[in-house]
Amino acid sequence: MIEFKNVTKKYRNHRAVDNLSLSLPQGKIIGVVGENGSGKSTTLKLISGLIRPSKGSVSVDGEEVSRNISRKVSYLSELDTYYSFYTVGETIDYYASIYSDFNRSKAEEILDYMKLDRSKKVKNLSKGNRGRLKIAVTLAREVPVILMDEPLSGLDPMVRDSIVKGLLSFVDFETQTIIITTHEIKEIEPILDLVVLIKDGRVLRMEDVEEIRIHQNVSIVEWMKKEYE
């Protein structure tokens, strides 16, 4: 479904991704984990077409990634990228106007689930509520791949659990794959199928979460620490 072939991404003299080869399956929730600066966000940006490899190739569903891959990929950035003068409702209208695959009824359902006030301007939302809005517009697109870079950042720990459970309700695993980078590993561990551990721009390990949890009898955080040693 998603394939990296000998991909390197350099920023001047720094290799954010280093000769990465990786195949990610369809219909899974995949966690990309690792320490700060390991290449997690760069990996998602390469899939989304926001940046191009310095070497190698990335493909989604057999199509080499370019800017046009946005037809198949919905990307949640860790940065705020919305018009602050729009209301929540106007933000939904804007996304519906630029993406033909945007499911307005699903967006409205997610807004209700997230308890977001449609009349509030984005600039007046708390960081947590801006994060909820980002999740809503990202999940409302009916595309094969959903990328979420630190989706729980800024959310109150008390609501993270309900937000994570909501992800399961709004993703169609018959047709969609979701890839998440996060530091809140404990919160997302219960919903992950597969985890990819990255260090220094390379894949250290890729493992089935059930294998880690049941057969190795450790949490993902404990597994990470062990693999990083």
pLDDT in tens, 91-132: 999 999 999 999 999 999 999 999 999 999 999 998 888 989
CATH of the domain at 176: 3.40.50.300
Mean predicted confidence (pLDDT) in 209-220: 90
Structure-model confidence comparison of residues 157 and 34, the more confident one = 34
Residue 121 in domain: no
Mean predicted confidence (pLDDT) in 201-217: 91
pLDDT at 158 over 80: no
Classify residue 191 as exposed, middle or buried by CB count within 10 Å of its CB (0-12, 13-18, 19+). middle
Residue 24: give the domain boundaries: 2-79+144-228
Residue 47 in domain: yes
Share of the chain above pLDDT 90, in %: 70
Q: How many structural domains is the chain composed of?
A: 1
For 157-206, give the secondary structure using H, E and C. HHHHHHHHHHHHHCCCCCCCEEEEECCCHHHHHHHCCEEEEEECCEEEEE
Residue 190 in domain: yes
Q: Considering the entire predicted model, what is its pTM? A: 0.93
Residue 123 has what DSSP assignment? G
Please tell me the distance from the alpha carbon of residue 92 to that of residue 87, in angstroms, as a whole number: 9
3-state secondary structure of 212: helix
The two counts, helices (H) then strands (E), for the chain are 8, 10
At how many degrees (to 10) do helices 127-139 and 157-169 cross?
10
Residue 122 in domain: no
In this structure, which amino acid lies at residue 215? H
The pLDDT value recorded for residue 98 is: 92
The pLDDT value recorded for residue 112 is: 94
Mean of per-residue pLDDT scores for the chain:
92
